[in-house]
Amino acid sequence: MTERVLVNQLKGLSDGPVSVSGWVETVRDQKKVQFVILRDETGAVQLVNPATRPAEDGSEQDAAALALTDLISNLATGTFLTVAGELKHDERVKLGGVEIKIRALDIAAAALPETPIAADSGMDKRMDWRFLDLRQRRNNLIFRVQTTLEHAFRSYWIDRDYIEVHSPKLMASASESNAELFSLEYFGDQTAYLAQSPQFFKQMAQVAGFGKIFEIAPAFRADPSFTSRHATEFTSVDAEISWIDSHEDVAAMQEELLQTAFQAVKDKHGAEIEELFGLEVQVPAIPFPRIPLAEAREIVKSRGYEIPRTDGDLDPEGERQISAHVEETYGHQFVFITDYHPEIRAFYHMRDEETGLTKSYDLLFRGVEITTGAQREHRVDVLIEQAKEKGLGAEHLDFYFDFFRYGAPPHGGFGMGLARVLMLLLGESSIREVTYLFRGPTRLAP
């Protein structure tokens, strides 16, 4: 039996017998020769077969050669097969400088002759047939980049002695607020909720003495938004650290994390990203610019845009405007917006004793918020009062307050949306494009 070889290994092999497996991408069935482009998870290769056609004069032909020609003529796009043949290096072959002369072809699973989507199909149609949409080389690269990005995050944290945790996604109460919660029946008379974030459990780890932790895991928001950056199920990238002086310690860790991860992506995929997405991966310089929210609003106003929100926060256009200012002024794609008013922040954000503003930030990347980070309030009496101000009842939060009744170190952390980072890194217009299987208000399948 000839061992299967991956397409990206072919160039390093000598001419001779070889076997590859994958799916049919295209077939060019010419009179004297047949070409098949076969793609596997690592790339594509050209297969070639000298066509043997029935003789016009009725003379006998090589039956095996006729059968192989007929088989290739009837191959449908998407058919999975294994081909055995002769590898030949030829610089004239544009696709990798190699080709395989077919000796035998074994179909593992034939595809229907007409595919339900095409290159110009709309996003919803492509999402209906996501498993076919993902066969494109460009889409394959998205998830290779995601893998490198996540691996770089983990490597950064593990190299610095962080502990990885896996917090539960079924909760007895809300993790942030009573809004945007998915509820489900839990063993009869109980109600469980899908976790909006691992927030409470990240903080519990600090009280438990873990010191530094991270988690990359699903989170759920019952948010009926149909924007390009929202999903009802998403992957949240979270970290929490103890013994900080302010949210600046959290921000410094996050910018270093992102710089490290972007460098890893550039090193491994930079050339291919430039080829398929038409952009150069920019590794951000540190420190990232910091702008207090009040100042950011004034800058946006000076650019001719009036923010319609009445709560003092930025809206999406305001985020784009301040990011454009940062790009023009500092040549940077990232900016921390800091010093948020308590009214627009979670009850557990610590407040500055002098200004009354929260020790928190939002991180914008190319005009889109990807992160909220903060120092947390670790003094239980202050925490309870801040929860009351928000109208949150102690009956639902008492288990959380218990964390802080037995001693808690000063700590803080952030939560970051993986798909948003990936979308902006690759210059895509929607997180649907960079999510393996998207979940939104109207999509639960496939």
Name residue 34's amino acid: Q
What is the model's pLDDT at position 180? 83
pLDDT of residue 337: 98
The predicted-structure confidence for 66-114, as pLDDT tens digits, reads as follows 999 999 999 999 999 999 999 999 999 999 999 999 999 999 999 999 9
Question: What pLDDT sits at residue 53?
Answer: 84
Q: Is the pLDDT of residue 55 over 80?
A: no
Phi and psi for 8 in degrees, rounded to 5?
Answer: -75, -5
C-alpha radius of gyration, the chain, whole number: 28
pLDDT (mean) for 302-320: 95
| Residue-level pLDDT at 225 | 86
Question: 179 falls in which pLDDT band (50, 70, 90)?
Answer: low
| CB-based contact 284:326 (threshold 8 Å) | no
List CB contacts of 411: < 8 A, sequence separation 6 or more: 203, 206, 240, 241, 242, 243, 244, 375, 376, 378
Q: Looking at residue 393, what is its pLDDT?
A: 77
pLDDT value at residue 289: 98
When pLDDT is averaged across residues 384-395 and rounded to a whole number, the result is 88
Residue 59 is predicted with a pLDDT of 67
Asked whether the beta carbons of 145 and 277 are under 8 A apart, the reply is no
- Predicted confidence at residue 3, as pLDDT, reads 76
The pLDDT score that the predictor gives to residue 335 is: 98
User: Do residues 446 and 437 touch, judged by C-beta distance below 8 A?
Assistant: yes
What is the model's pLDDT at position 52?
86
Over the chain, what is the mean pLDDT?
Answer: 94
E strands, 41-76, are 43-50
What is the structure's pLDDT at 395? Answer: 77
338-374 pLDDT, tens digit each = 999 999 999 999 999 999 999 999 999 999 999 999 9
Tokens of 1: 């039996």
Evaluate if residue 386 carries a pLDDT over 90: yes
Confidence of residue 400 (pLDDT cuts 50, 70, 90): very high
The residue ranking higher by pLDDT, 373 or 56, is: 373
d(CA 417, CA 103): 49
- The tokens describing 73, both together, are 């003529």
Average pLDDT over residues 392-399: 83
Percent of the chain with pLDDT over 70: 97
Q: Give 172's DSSP letter.
A: S
> What is the pTM assigned to this prediction?
0.93
Mean pLDDT on 148-168: 98
185 contacts 170 by C-beta, under 8 angstroms? no
Identify the pLDDT of residue 60.
67
- What does the pLDDT read at residue 57? 63
The β-bridge partners of 234 are: 219
pLDDT above 70: residue 177: no
What pLDDT shows up at residue 173? 76
* pLDDT for res 56: 67
